[in-house]
Each structure stands twice: as structure tokens, then as C-alpha cells.
Structure 1
Amino acid sequence: MFLSVSFSQLVVWLYSLISYLLYLLLRSSDSQSFSECSRRVKARSISGHPSGPYRDVGALGALATCLQPGVSTLDRVFESSVCRNPHLNCLGTRELLSEEDETQEDGRVFKKVILGEYRWMSYDQVYKEMRAFGSGLAALGQKPLKNIAIFCETRAEWIIVAQACFMYNFPLVTLYSTLGGPAIAHGLNEAEVSHIITSKELLETKLKNILLEVPRLRHIIVVDDKLKSGSEYPRGISVHSMAAVKRLGAHPENGTSLKRPRRPPCASDVAVIMYTSGSTGMPKGVMISHSNIISGITGMAERIPNLGEDDTYIGYLPLAHVLELSAEMVCLANGCRIGYSSLQTLADQSTKIKKGSKGDTSVLRPTLMAAVPVRLNLSLSLWDFEVECQRIKPGVDILLKVVTHTLLVRFPFLFFVCHNAFCVYPGGYRSTDRPCPRGEILVGGPNVTMGYYKNKEKNTEDFFVDKKGQRWFCTGDIGEFHGDGCLKIIDRKKDLVKLQAGEYVSLGKVEAVLKNCALVDNICAYANSEESYVIGFVVPNQKQLLALAERKCVRGLWEELCNNPIIEEEVLKVITETALTAQLERFEIPRKICLSVEPWTPETGLVTDAFKLKRKELKTHYQNDIERMYGAKQSQTTTHSRQNHRTGKKK
């Protein structure tokens, strides 16, 4: 087993080395290496103070705030693109040929699909659909400047709905498709929504269960063609198909859009109220204006060379997140085509793709994609990354934009670290630190949002306007500026915990280090201020843990291995070695751990849709284990806790 793994790794390494050497021989002499690019100055302080504010060296003059002169709202951005590219492919969806249930060796049943080619709508077709749908919503009583919600998976219909709402000035409330019932009800009630767009699956599995908790809701529009017959809904709620609403918005005689009076948006109007995934408490709605989004996508466009109609973007991340929405908007503004996918169908080996058939990337062959490492489980070494970047001809072959921190995509204009020579954050961060000034990262620019919806207290805490009228957002991230203007995120304010003896521990820092351990797929560090040491909950890597068990001659089912004290102790040893190698302090290293049988997914409620840890929920879920590891429970409770892990039940 170990020989075959080593041999396969050797083959991959030799292939990469040979192909890289061939590339170096063939590449043009004037191309810049990745190393040269990495050494360039990225940003400079525009105040002369080492702690900032800093600005991108490519934007030392006035910041660009729009893609085209006079185009200041999102509906105008798309209309301009339609005028230039009416017959180009715009939105594509793969045809579903068949689906079947496949039984696994362990008895579990997975649904597998066989998909055909992508079917495309042109820019002109999308424009007509969004106009008819917006008119249909108006016919159903939706008013300008009154909130409307979308609770749907990423798909072509999502962006058609969004564009219709932008055109008719309906502020769009976005909700993650993985949110639980209470969070969905909270968002709909807070935004006082009467109309919602959703999918057939989400209506039946989630939305239907909380309808009685949303008294203002009157109209449900389902994006799927066929509605499930025989379903009953509370009195006063009407359910429509998207096709029916579009027909309602079209003239009965010639099929053209009705000349319904509409109030076009202005740049300062709210385009989206984007509800967060709720890492702490209930989700908060973030108000984002048309000008905010246009400023953001202008910054993105400047950083993607030669973006245009020859590019194909693959959309699979949640459109309810600003990263995916911004990425798709910048593509539509530049005449690109967007093919839709999902994490379950992205690659040939994805979970829903039937063995022997093609995943979406193989069929679509995209030139653009947005990605976050936690979603794709990326673990590229710097050398591997340089090899791949050397192979990429800028803007031609493929642009893989890996976003290690989505904040930097949301706000690509100005970065600023607080400077008050006497300001000290817990953990000893000072703006006077040398050689790298450190402190909380503040972000300013025309794309900084309007703030949280109906949350004055949080707005006061996280946003402020300086003497020059510049609006700033306090990110809660701790960063340090390097000499070349590179900003490195090193901590989170909320992740700092003071131990019993007074030492400050950064839980995020500990987790970032220990995720580099091959045995760890995910980890949550935890510390109680009344205790003297850190503990941890670990989602182990199945392949690595099974190999460890084999070396230690420990046998059993997966659940038995995760609950085996010998395995737990061995994993802790490996984690400790990783921590010491990374030079963590002794008090930062977890002294006890608990292995989780199940991975943490948004469906479990233990991580957000962006796979950020929900510390409050994790603490509740592992409360018995916390008490066990801190010595507050007897053996009976320990047995009960481990049994709960075997069954996967929450406490």
C-alpha cells in the first residue's frame, strides 16, 4: 500500500519536472516568471506612514468606479453588453439525460447522473426573459424599492431573476440554499418579504416547513418548469412557475414585454441585501448598492487581463455570496459566456457523476473560474503553484483565481491598518511593530457596503466615515504589511482567547498551522478562559487515518477507529509534531483532541456555506467532549458522548 502511494507520487513528480523543464525551454524570453512577479511592489503607503493607508500601485491616481462612462447601475451594465453582443452565448445549462440510484459497498445509496451537452441562451434571449419576468413580478404586485427574496441554488435562472430585479428596482434579498429553517424565516421576516423565488426542491424540503412563520409571504415563484401537484400551502399563499410569471409579463397578443411603468434604479439604490451564512448567531443582511457592486467588478476587471467574448466562465459557487455574484457580473459586463455547474458535477470524479461519463469542466472547458481553497480542497505547494502559473499565458489558456480570503475580492481598492502609536490589540499587535506594522485591517473605497440591514448597533461598530468623507469597514482581521506592500492576514480579533495564566491564544492561527498536517481534514481549536490549555476537535483524513491504524495494528470500523483512545493519542502526537515544527508556543498546542466521525458540511450546521467554522454551534455539538477533555465529566458521560459521535447526532 505504502509502496504504491510512493510510486504514484514519484510518477507525478517526474511528469511535473519534465514538463516544467520543457516549458522553460520553449517559453518566450520576455515572459516574466512567477518569482519575478511575486517580488514586485504590490502597494505603497499614500500617507508616508508605514502602517498605511496603502493603495495598489496600479491605482495610485483616482480609483476607477465604473466600467463605462455614464453606466452607473447594474441593469444598464447588462443592457450595454446586450447591445454589443446580442447573438453571443450568454448562459448555459447541461441537459440531464438520465439519473439513477447507485448502492455503495457500505450500503449507502448515491444518486448518479448522466449529463449531455450545454444548451445556451444568447444575450438577447436572456434580456427578453429577464424583462418579461420583471414585468410579471410587477403584475403580481411587487413594487419598486420593496424587497423581494431569492432562495435558490446557483443556476441560470438565478441570474435572470437578479437582472430582472435590478431592472425593475426590486432590492434582491439573497439567502444561502444551505440555511436552516430559523435562519430563512429570520431573513424573510426582517426584510418584510411578500414575494420569493425558489426551486422545487428547496420549496419541498425547507421553505414549505416554515411558511406559517412568515406571515407577510404571499407569492412563491418556482424556477422549475413543472410544479409538484397535490401540494397544499397555507391560505393566502399562491405558488407560480417562473414560466407562468414570464407569460404574465408578456403582451397577450404579440409576446412583447408590456410597457408597465417602472422606476429605474439610481446608483445609490440598494441592489442586494445579502444575508450572511451566520457564523455567529442569526444571519445579518448586508445592504449593497448598485454603485458598490459596479465599483467592485471594475476592480476585478482591471485584474483579469484580456477579459472578453472568447472567455467561458464556470459558475458553481453560491450566487448568494458576493464573490460568485461579482464574478458572474464582471463576465456578463464583458460579453463572456457562463456555464453552470455544482460541486457534485464539477469534475469527472465528482460525487454525482456516473463513472465513465464527463464532469462539467471536461465538457465546458472554461477559461475562467472563481475558487476558494476550502471548497476545492486545494493544497498546492509554492513550487507547484509556480509551475502552473508559468504554464498559463495571461488571459488565454485558463485563469484560476484562487481566493484565500474573500474579503480581498469584495474590497480590492484600499487597504489600511489602524495606526495609533499606542494602540495594542490582544496578542501584542502594534502599528509600530518592525519590520512589519500590524493591526486590524480597515478597508475603504467606493465598494464598501451601505452597512447591515436594520442593525444600527452593528453598523456603528463595524463602519465609520473619516474627516475626508471616506467610508471604512472594520474587518476584524489582524494583518501585517510587508515592505513590498503585500498584506498578510495573520489573525482574527474574535479568535483570540486568554488562558488562565494570562497567555493569549489565536485559535485561527492554531487551526491554520494544524491544517497542514496530513492527518487533518478540518480542525476547530477551543480554549476556555478558566482553563490552562487548548483542546481541539478534528475531522481526520480518512486515507491517512486508516494507514495510521494499520501501522499501529488497530482494527475496526471507521466509527470505532475515531473513538479509539490509541488512535486519538497517535493523532495527537502527529499534530503536536506539526505544531512544534511550525514553532507554535507550547501553550498554543492542543493538549487533548476529539476525532469526529462525520465531516463538517453546511448541512450539519457546524460550518457556514463558505465552510467557515461556526464556533458557537461546534461548542454546543461537542459540549460533552469539552467537559470530558477538561475533566468535568465522569466516564459514563464520556461513553455517552462517544456514542453520540458514532450515531452522528447533535446534542
Structure 2
Amino acid sequence: MSLNSHFVMFLTMKKKEDLNPVLLLLFHLMVWLYTLISFLPSYLLSGVSPPDGDSYGTEQMRAKRAKARSISGMPEGPYRAVSAAQRLKASLHPGVDTLDKMFQTAVARFRHKDCLGTREVISVDDERQNNGKVFKKLILGEYHWLSFEETLTAAVQLGSGLASLGQQPKTNIAIFCETRAEWLIAAQACFAHNFRLVTLYATLGGPAVAHGLNETEVTHIITSRELLETRLQAILIKVPRLQHIIVVDNTPTTWPGYPQNITIHNMATVQKMGVLSENGKHCQPQSSDIAVIMYTSGSTGHPKGVMISHSNIIAGITGMADRLPNLCEEDTYIGYLPLAHVLELSAELVCISHGCRIGYSSPHTLVDQSTKIKKGSKGDISILQPTMMAAVPVRSIPNLTSIIKDANRKLTHKECLVIWEIMDRIYKNVMMKVEEMSCLQRTLFILAYNYKLEQLAKGHSTPLCDRLIFSKIRNLLGGRTRLLLSGGAPLSAATQRFMNVCLCCPVGQGYGLTETCGAGTISEHWDYSTGRVGGPLVCCEIKLKNWADGNYYSTDHPHARGEILIGGPNVTMGYYKNQDKNQDDFIVDENGQRWFCTGDIGEFQEDGCLKIIDRKKDLVKLQAGEYVSLGKVEAILKNCPLIDNICAYANSDENYVIAFMVPNQKQLQLLAHQHGMEGSWEDLCSSKAVEELVLNALNEAALAAQLERFEIPRKICLSPEPWMPEMGLVTDAFKLKREQLKTYYHDDIKRMYAGK
């Protein structure tokens, strides 16, 4: 049964059964009695509760607690965390200033504790679909663990083996591999032997991978068998310096058909070479040495390599750890995001430094209903039962704000159902649990949701609701998650509220960039406010720079606004072989402190929390002199249910905005059907009449959001195909590649600007 048909069926059932008012009154009476019994004593005693205890007060009280303050006393800042007002913190422990020392310290403290876990593959089955396609389905067993000591041994052996293959200290070595235990072992080997680790997304296209390998002049690369055969093999001829390929899987010892100048090794074989090698002593890194050259996914042109020193990363994870509560060896983290991304690498290094174990997964095996999990088998998250995980917002989730205009407002039956309809990935599984409920249970669920929303606003917990109503949804993440961190893109207020309620754990937002080691801000775990990214971490400070072109000034009321500049020991060394870009984006002040100019526009609120409101690079000046923020237009129009993705475009020689968009298939087909239009998906997207219908809907949404007339797209182009990284139109983090989109839609741009 489709999700949409489920909603129709439920609403029909609701009308038939009419949900007797007496029954609803009984539910409300039960909730009232529960409130009286559970919270009256705590309410009476709340006046003597310690400020840092289990109760953090109402939302209004939490909003008044200072998260950061301007150390200059000026509205532009710089702002620092309250606990770092005197001095920025750059190290977890005294003297631990390199990643090698950090790992050695962790091994000394947690020697025999579990460190890295990999799930056993029992069998791989071919499952034939009705359309004839065959999918690989996995039956997986339990997790097998390496202790901290065993992980260190594996890393030392691999590092020595790489040295015996000719890898020299302070030279570059690449890793092009999926997120797995071997990735982190290889990274620790490089950190210990002072090899500069070049990281490349496993989803990067061939030209981008070749560019990174050639620019960094690597001779050794660590990869997996699948990526070697599907991605790397095709570009080897374009990477003439490459000599050694180390494959992390248990693979054949012979590799016919590869260039003669390249030798392919198994990782286990290289580790054995390390045991036998006389290179037991290695060149230990200094804190100022480059640890990682991390290639960003690149929203314009080729990916850029960011040079990150040991001290940069140490400072970044120090700031993150300070904001994450009660990290210890009892915690389990699930790693499935790309380790080539600064968010995942930093999160895993934070875990390592505090003795938390890391169990590895992938988006294809994460939950019970994942694409590679055989029906009836358990996904990784059900087996691992993590206490912490990181996530990035799903592309379709911003549409949620069109359904719930106010994240604090109570939900109706219909709104709850629509929310479940449009959620993706993990959120689809929420709906599967709801489908199992009776009509009575669904009504109880909605009542419980609205009740818990009220209690969260008052600073109260709801243990009975969590156990009786939300436990099934919480179990989608294993049932033990105590902290979920969102980064990489803004999380809508409504989505954050929904997750806070249903997943029964704090959902914090963070803001950082590769150029700042992923560190910038993270919201406090007790701060349930939405639409903000928290205050600065203890490793950095943030100030606002006036931007006259966008009309953003630190003197703006009620909040100071401007371009976000991040300064501190976590600010990286700059871009690899790109001095012009370094001069544009990095500055050094009179005190010798490095600052990164993010290009993002933010505003500081009364309690010191930062809110991201615009993007500097997305500003275009129209022919008549009006400035249009394309990012702002896109963010607002994404709230329209008809839109899955959108790219606004404006030519400075023209006087209006246009847009290319990927429509939501269900919503567009429903709209067309309502107006008597039928046809294939491709026919609907190419129809001028359908374009007009969508344009009218966009106008209504834009005017309701108070966009100026000149900001509203006057013409649009509908794309039947979603934009994926493989097409080169979005990055691996699904950020728009504007230049590539401009080229791809060149003919459509000419058409939309031709008939003025």
C-alpha cells in the first residue's frame, strides 16, 4: 500500500468511525491525570532544582541563558563561548598536540576496550525483482571488534609497510575508500608516520579524482576493490605518478590487466611487510605539520584541497567534545557518513579520544528496510544500538515547513500524516510503524505528540509517553540513542521538533566548514530552540563583517548581521596550491590569529546563538539595480510542496529571475489531475500549461513568505530527473553547482529570457 493511499484510507476510516467525542474526551482526561500525578510534585519542587541538574527550565528560561558573548562589547563581536571568554582552548590534554599522541593517549587509557567494529557478512543473495532487475541482498551477523590496542597495532604495521614501499614522511598519500574500519586504521597509520593524508569522496567522478591525485602528486593510494574496479581503473592512465595501490579487502594476489608501472597490494600483505620491516622507527609529526589535505566536493569548478595541520584537528575536536555531554567508553557511535567529509572524520576522532567505540555501517545497510538488507534480517542500527550518531538533513525535508508553518504549533491528524508521507530514508520507517497502528493507536499517537511538545516547551520530560507511544519509533535508531547531531546543511525547524519528540533524544545543530575543521558552533544539548546553530565552540571565536552589497550591518536591529568570520586554532592552513584563493578567504589579524571568511551571512541573537540567514556568493544584481539573494529565494521556495529541489538564476543583463526545478512527482501529478491534465511524467514536466500551474503556486508561496516582486522567478523550467552527484549538477553533499547547472540548462535559459 502506498503512503498516499494509507493517508486516504485513514481519513476515510476517521470519518466512518468519527472517533467518538467521548473517546477523545477520555484520552484527554487520561493525559490530564498523568500530568497531575507525574509533574505536580516536580513543579512544586522546581524552585530548588540546581541550575545544571536534570531540569533546564522552560524554553523562555533556556533562551535567557548566555551561550556566548562579545568579548569586545561591540555588536559585531568577536563572540566567544561563555566558558572560553578569557582564552580559547586548543587541546584536550596538556602536551597532546598531534593526532598520533591523541591516539596513543587513548590506547593507554582504554587499551582493552572495543574500538572499531565491523559486521560479519554471512551470505550475499541475488533477489530478482518483478521488472527483471537483480539486487544484491545481504544477510549479516554480529559485530566483530578490534580493541584500542589491536587498532594501534594494525595502524603501526600498515604505516611501516607503507614506508617499506617507499612512502616518505611529509609526502602525500591518498585514500579513496568507503567509510569502514580500514579507513580509520589507514588514517592513524599516516598520522603516526607523518604521511600527509589526501582524502577524496568515494562518490567523486573520475575527472575530480584524477585532478586530486595529480595536484597532490601521490604515488600511493589506499582504496577498496569495488572502487578500484568501478572508478579508479578507468582513470589510471591519467595519473602517471601513481605506483602503488593498496586494496583494503581480502582480495586476489594477482591483478591482470592493469598498467605495468602500477603494483597492487592487499592491505594485509602490506601489514605483514610492516612486521618484517626494519622501519620500526618513524618520523613523528609536529603539531604544525600537515595531517590531511581534504578535498571539498566543490560547488564551483574543481574540488579544492584544504590543508589541515595536526594542531588544527586537535583544536577542532577539542571544541566539539566540550559541547557533547558525558562522552565516555560506555558510548557507541555508528559511522556511516563519508569519512572523507570533515564532519564524520571529526566525530570519529572525538569518539576515539574519549574511548567510545565505533561500529561501521553504510546507508545501504543502516536500518532494517535498507536497500541491501534481506527481508527479515536486521539492519546495522538494530544490532549495534548506538548511543550517538551524526546525520545530514535529507533533501526533501525542507518541504516540512510548508506543512507546519510554526514548529511549536500543535498538529492536526492530516498534518501528521502528510509529514510522514514526505519524510525520506529513516523517516520512511516511521510511517511503516504507523501503518501497523490501529485507528485508535494513531489518534493516541497524535495526542501524545502534541502533549509532549507542550511539555518540552515547559522543560519537562515525558517518560511514560516515551515508553508507551514513542518507543517503536525510537527503536528505529536502535533504542539507545541519547544524542543526534545534524550538520552539513540547515535543518528545518519543523523537522527538528518532530525528531526531538519522536526520537526521544536531543537533536543538535552544528555549523562548521572544512576550512575550520568542521568546528564553529554546536547547540547546547538542553537548548531545544530551532532555526539556530548554537554558540561558538571553545576552540574558536566568531565575528560579523559588514556587507554593504547585501545590506547587512552589525548595527542592524534587533540583531547584528554580517558575513561570518571564524578565527582560532582550528582555522586551517589554506588551500593546496591555490594562493589566490588563500588571499581571498583567509586573513591574519594584528595579533597573528587566522580568520576564515565563510561567505555565509549570520546574525547573533540576545543569548549569543548564531543564526544563518543568507549566503554571500549567491547575490546577483539585476539590470534595474536590485540585489537578489538566490540562496534566500531557493530556501523560501523549497517550502512549497511542489518542489523537491530548485536553483534560482538571474542574469545581470536582465530584470527578472528565472528558476530550474525538480518537482515533487506526487504533488505535481495531483495538481495536473485536478486540472484535467494527464500524461507521462516527462510529458507533464515539458508541458507549458503545467509550467503555468506551478508558477502560480510558486507566486503564492513567495508572496506569503514576503519575497519582493523582483525576487520571485518569472519563468521556470521543470526537470523530470532529480539532480544527483553522478550528473555533476550537485556536490556529494547535494549543494548546487551553479556553473554546471547554468551550462546544463543553457538552452532553457535562452528560452526563458528570449520572450521578455
The TM-score with structure 2 as length reference comes to: 0.77
Q: Secondary structure at the match of 1:67?
A: coil
Give the structure 1 partner of residue 67 of structure 2. 42
Q: How does 1:114-133 map to 2 (within 5 A)?
A: 114-133=139-158
The answer as to whether partners of 1:348 and 1:362 remain within 8 angstroms in 2 is yes
Rounded Cα–Cα distance in structure 1 between residues aligned with 2:625 and 2:28: 49
Rounded Cα–Cα distance in structure 1 between residues aligned with 2:85 and 2:30: 39
Rounded Cα–Cα distance in structure 2 between residues aligned with 1:240 and 1:364: 32
Moved more, 623-632 or 194-203: 623-632
Does 2:184 match 1:164?
A: no
Q: How does 1:23-102 map to 2 (within 5 A)?
A: 26=38, 30=49, 31-33=55-57, 35=59, 36-102=61-127
Give the structure 2 partner of residue 416 of structure 1. 542
Once the two structures are superposed, residues 174-215 of structure 1 have per-residue CA deviations (whole angstroms, 9 ceiling, x without a partner) of: 011111122111111111111000111111111111112111
Give the structure 1 partner of residue 360 of structure 2. 340
Structure 2 CA distance for partners of 1:574 and 1:130, relative to 1, 3 Å:
same
The code of the aligned residue for 1:410 comes to A
Structure 2 CA distance for partners of 1:344 and 1:593, relative to 1, 3 Å:
farther
Identity of aligned residues (%): 61
The code of the aligned residue for 1:5 comes to F
Unaligned segments of structure 1, at least 5 residues: 252-256, 634-651
Does 2:448 match 1:401?
A: no
The answer as to whether partners of 1:417 and 1:438 remain within 8 angstroms in 2 is no
Rounded Cα–Cα distance in structure 1 between residues aligned with 2:37 and 2:744: 55
Give the structure 1 partner of residue 578 of structure 2. 455
**Which residue of 674, 682, 697 corresponds with 1:574?**
697
The answer as to whether partners of 1:414 and 1:443 remain within 8 angstroms in 2 is yes
Does 2:216 match 1:191?
A: yes
Does 2:277 match 1:240?
A: no
Once the two structures are superposed, residues 352-411 of structure 1 have per-residue CA deviations (whole angstroms, 9 ceiling, x without a partner) of: 333333222222111111112136947586348984976699x98520111234438423
**Which residue of 471, 477, 482 corresponds with 2:594?**
471
Give the structure 1 partner of residue 207 of structure 2. 182
The code of the aligned residue for 1:129 comes to A
Structure 2 CA distance for partners of 1:196 and 1:18, relative to 1, 3 Å:
farther
Q: Secondary structure at the match of 1:530?
A: coil
**Which residue of 5, 8, 12 corresponds with 2:7?**
5
Unaligned segments of structure 2, at least 5 residues: 15-23, 50-54, 409-448, 464-478, 491-510, 521-536
Moved more, 234-243 or 410-419: 410-419
The answer as to whether partners of 2:385 and 2:481 remain within 8 angstroms in 1 is no
Give the structure 1 partner of residue 390 of structure 2. 370
Once the two structures are superposed, residues 481-516 of structure 1 have per-residue CA deviations (whole angstroms, 9 ceiling, x without a partner) of: 222222222111110011121111101001111111
Moved more, 148-157 or 552-561: 552-561
Q: Secondary structure at the match of 1:272?
A: strand
Rounded Cα–Cα distance in structure 2 between residues aligned with 1:95 and 1:357: 13
Give the structure 1 partner of residue 533 of structure 2. none
Structure 2 CA distance for partners of 1:113 and 1:570, relative to 1, 3 Å:
farther
Does 2:288 match 1:268?
A: yes
Give the structure 2 partner of residue 648 of structure 1. none
C-alpha deviation, 1:569, in angstroms? 2.4
Rounded Cα–Cα distance in structure 2 between residues aligned with 1:83 and 1:9: 60
Give the structure 1 partner of residue 341 of structure 2. 321
The code of the aligned residue for 1:401 comes to L
Moved more, 63-72 or 131-140: 63-72
Does 2:526 match 1:502?
A: no
Higher share in helix: 2
The answer as to whether partners of 1:53 and 1:414 remain within 8 angstroms in 2 is no
The answer as to whether partners of 2:659 and 2:717 remain within 8 angstroms in 1 is yes
Give the structure 2 partner of residue 542 of structure 1. 665
The answer as to whether partners of 2:181 and 2:360 remain within 8 angstroms in 1 is yes
C-alpha deviation, 1:608, in angstroms? 0.9
Structure 2 CA distance for partners of 1:11 and 1:338, relative to 1, 3 Å:
farther
Q: How does 1:528-607 map to 2 (within 5 A)?
A: 528-607=651-730
C-alpha deviation, 1:50, in angstroms? 0.9
The code of the aligned residue for 1:399 comes to L
Moved more, 577-586 or 477-486: 477-486
Give the structure 1 partner of residue 372 of structure 2. 352
RMSD of aligned residue pairs (Cα, Å): 3.0
User: How many correspondences in the alignment?
Assistant: 622
Rounded Cα–Cα distance in structure 2 between residues aligned with 1:607 and 1:247: 41
C-alpha deviation, 1:102, in angstroms? 4.0
C-alpha deviation, 1:543, in angstroms? 2.9
Once the two structures are superposed, residues 318-361 of structure 1 have per-residue CA deviations (whole angstroms, 9 ceiling, x without a partner) of: 11111110000000111111111122222223233333332222
The answer as to whether partners of 1:148 and 1:170 remain within 8 angstroms in 2 is yes
Structure 2 CA distance for partners of 1:211 and 1:311, relative to 1, 3 Å:
same
The answer as to whether partners of 1:51 and 1:437 remain within 8 angstroms in 2 is yes
Moved more, 219-228 or 463-472: 219-228
Rounded Cα–Cα distance in structure 2 between residues aligned with 1:5 and 1:272: 49
Give the structure 2 partner of residue 439 of structure 1. 562
Rounded Cα–Cα distance in structure 2 between residues aligned with 1:81 and 1:34: 38
The answer as to whether partners of 1:417 and 1:479 remain within 8 angstroms in 2 is no
Rounded Cα–Cα distance in structure 2 between residues aligned with 1:367 and 1:101: 33
The answer as to whether partners of 1:322 and 1:410 remain within 8 angstroms in 2 is no
C-alpha deviation, 1:34, in angstroms? 6.5
The TM-score with structure 1 as length reference comes to: 0.89
Once the two structures are superposed, residues 108-138 of structure 1 have per-residue CA deviations (whole angstroms, 9 ceiling, x without a partner) of: 5543333222222111111111111011001
Once the two structures are superposed, residues 405-436 of structure 1 have per-residue CA deviations (whole angstroms, 9 ceiling, x without a partner) of: 443842334443445xxx54322122222222
Rounded Cα–Cα distance in structure 2 between residues aligned with 1:518 and 1:326: 35
Rounded Cα–Cα distance in structure 1 between residues aligned with 2:743 and 2:268: 44
Does 2:306 match 1:286?
A: yes
The answer as to whether partners of 1:515 and 1:523 remain within 8 angstroms in 2 is yes
Give the structure 2 partner of residue 613 of structure 1. 736
Rounded Cα–Cα distance in structure 2 between residues aligned with 1:480 and 1:396: 35
**Which residue of 326, 350, 357 corresponds with 1:306?**
326
- Larger RCO, structure (CA 8 Å, separation 6 or more): 2
Structure 2 CA distance for partners of 1:580 and 1:352, relative to 1, 3 Å:
farther
Once the two structures are superposed, residues 282-306 of structure 1 have per-residue CA deviations (whole angstroms, 9 ceiling, x without a partner) of: 1111011111001110111111111
Q: Secondary structure at the match of 1:476?
A: strand
The code of the aligned residue for 1:444 comes to G
The code of the aligned residue for 1:454 comes to K
Structure 2 CA distance for partners of 1:59 and 1:591, relative to 1, 3 Å:
same
Once the two structures are superposed, residues 266-296 of structure 1 have per-residue CA deviations (whole angstroms, 9 ceiling, x without a partner) of: 1111110001111111111101111100111
Q: Secondary structure at the match of 2:668?
A: helix
Once the two structures are superposed, residues 239-269 of structure 1 have per-residue CA deviations (whole angstroms, 9 ceiling, x without a partner) of: 0011110111113xxxxx8552311011111
Rounded Cα–Cα distance in structure 2 between residues aligned with 1:280 and 1:194: 27
